[in-house]
């Protein structure tokens, strides 16, 4: 639950930020919901061509992408759009959506309001002890079951780049 009156500052240095392998990419939780009174979380993604999410929808969170480098294709309710460096994509809750990296590599941030997606990534991911080789991903059926417990409904496979 978010506390709109919470005003405790948070300065989060990289040494306290968690990094996990999630869906084959390195994801750093730059601002967890625990540090923002549940108002939002910010994740940094670094992935290669083909990294993406299955088609899904969030019951409670709006999601915004900020593309720093590379290019994504963002699919929202059956519409596909390219999102290159400098692009921002706002995806309101309850809309089906997915993304896939279409360039050789991409670097982007995601903002989730309210927070909660960070907890899902931690539960589904594997702690990153190395930035070299990602571990084996969680099986799709287990991912769908875990996602449902976080109010995320998996609707289809990850788009092909």
**Which domain, by its residues, includes 70?**
14-156
Is residue 5 situated within a structural domain? Answer: no
Cα separation of 154 and 65, whole Å?
19
The residues, any chain, with a CB within 8 Å of residue 127's CB and separated by 6 or more, are 18, 19, 20, 21
Retrieve residue 139's tokens. Answer: 């099986």
**Number of structural domains, the chain?**
1
- Does some domain include residue 9? no
Instruction: Tell me 136's DSSP state.
Output: P
137: domain CATH number is: 2.60.120.10
- Record the pTM: 0.92
Whether 6 is covered by a domain: the verdict is no
pLDDT tens for the chain, 161 residues: list them.
555 566 788 889 999 999 999 999 999 999 999 999 999 999 999 999 999 999 999 999 999 999 999 999 999 998 999 999 999 999 999 999 999 999 999 999 999 999 999 999 999 999 998 777 677 788 889 999 999 999 999 999 999 99
Determine contact, residues 28/68, Cβ cutoff 8 Å.
no
């Amino acid at each position: 639950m978010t506390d709109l009156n919470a005003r405790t500052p948070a300065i989060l240095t990289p040494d306290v930020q968690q990094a996990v392998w999630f869906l084959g990419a390195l994801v750093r939780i730059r601002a967890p919901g625990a540090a923002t009174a549940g108002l939002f979380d910010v994740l940094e993604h670094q992935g290669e061509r083909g990294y993406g999410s299955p088609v899904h929808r969030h019951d409670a969170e709006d999601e915004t992408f900020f593309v720093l480098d590379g290019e994504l294709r963002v699919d929202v309710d059956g519409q596909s759009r390219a999102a290159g460096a400098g692009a921002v994509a706002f995806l309101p809750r309850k809309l089906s959506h997915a993304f896939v990296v279409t360039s050789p590599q991409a670097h982007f941030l995601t903002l989730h309001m309210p927070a909660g997606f960070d907890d899902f990534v931690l539960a589904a991911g594997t702690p990153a002890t190395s930035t070299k080789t990602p571990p084996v991903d969680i099986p799709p059926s287990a991912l769908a079951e875990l996602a449902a417990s976080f109010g995320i409904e998996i609707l289809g496979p990850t788009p092909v780049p």
